[in-house]
Amino acid sequence: EDKVVQSPLSLVVHEGDTVTLNCSYEVTNFRSLLWYKQEKKAPTFLFMLTSSGIEKKSGRLSSILDKKELFSILNITATQTGDSAVYLCAGAGANNLFFGTGTRLTVIP
Amino acid sequence: NAGVTQTPKFRVLKTGQSMTLLCAQDMNHEYMYWYRQDPGMGLRLIHYSVGEGTTAKGEVPDGYNVSRLKKQNFLLGLESAAPSQTSVYFCASSDHLSGNTIYFGEGSWLTVV
């Protein structure tokens, strides 16, 4: 059965802290791993990872994929209150994106 | 700059009533999806479509029907609403079936009482 598991479920940090969000996956005919940020409404795209070991960066956010261990991490450095959101990980298979339940990040000023 | 538009955004239904959620995209995407999001469950695929006139079942299709008569529109129908269908519904579209980015609508909050 295809599944994506994220940890931790929730996280509370102070501004300036660095956080690491985890995502493990078991997806048939795996094609890619995607990260989304969801605030109050629709998820917004952050990264798509298809190859192991290649880090993707966007400002203070970065992510990497390990296809051998079926694992991905999302790092956020120097967190800001605007980073508070639910971060969703999804594994793309042949016909579907399988989403994890998300990690709720709260950044306290 | 519309992207993916869902209507209505909020709706309250009585058990047994029917309704249709409309999704429209203006990006000429081939693929469209309907997801539901429940607390602690993540996003789950209800139905999807790989092109005009085609539909397929996702993870949780029971109680829902869909139609894709036009490429830009994907309709989700509830024939006889049940309280278990209280959820937030997201439509999405993409230019690939998977492995690429998909674009989400703003969500439709549905409550069945």
Q: What pLDDT score does B1 carry? A: 58
Distance between terminal CA atoms of chain B? 35
Within chain B, strands assigned E span 4-7, 10-13, 19-25, 31-38, 42-49, 56-57, 65-67, 73-78, 87-94, 103-104, 108-112
Pairwise CB contact (< 8 Å): B107 & A41:
yes
- DSSP structure class, residue B100: S
Question: Is residue A65 predicted with pLDDT exceeding 60?
Answer: yes
Q: What pLDDT score does B33 carry? A: 93
3-state secondary structure of A81: helix
Residue B56 near residue B74 (C-beta atoms within 8 A): no
B4: chain A residues, CB-CB within 8 Å: 42
Average pLDDT for residues A6-26, to the nearest whole number? 97
Pairwise CB contact (< 8 Å): B102 & A48:
no
CA distances from A70 to A22, A29, A84 (A): 11, 13, 26
Q: Is the dihedral of CA B80, B58, B5, B42 positive or negative?
A: positive
The DSSP bridge pattern shows strands A103-108 and A10-14 to be parallel
The whole-angstrom distance between A95's CA and the closest CA on chain B is 6
A64 backbone dihedrals φ, ψ, rounded to 5°: -145, 155
Average pLDDT for residues A53-60, to the nearest whole number? 92
The whole-angstrom distance between A19's CA and the closest CA on chain B is 21
Distance of CA B111 to the CA centre of its chain: 15
The whole-angstrom distance between B105's CA and the closest CA on chain A is 6
For B:5-34, CB contacts with A below 8 A are: none
Question: Is residue A84 predicted with pLDDT exceeding 80?
Answer: yes
Residue with tokens 């929730």: A10
Q: What tens digit of pLDDT does each residue of B32-64 get?
A: 999 999 987 788 999 999 899 999 999 899 999
pLDDT-derived band at A14 (thresholds 50, 70, 90) equals very high
Q: What tens digit of pLDDT does each residue of B67-107 get?
A: 999 999 999 999 999 999 999 999 999 887 555 678 899 99
Which of residues A29 and B7 earns the better pLDDT score? B7
Average pLDDT for residues A67-71, to the nearest whole number? 94
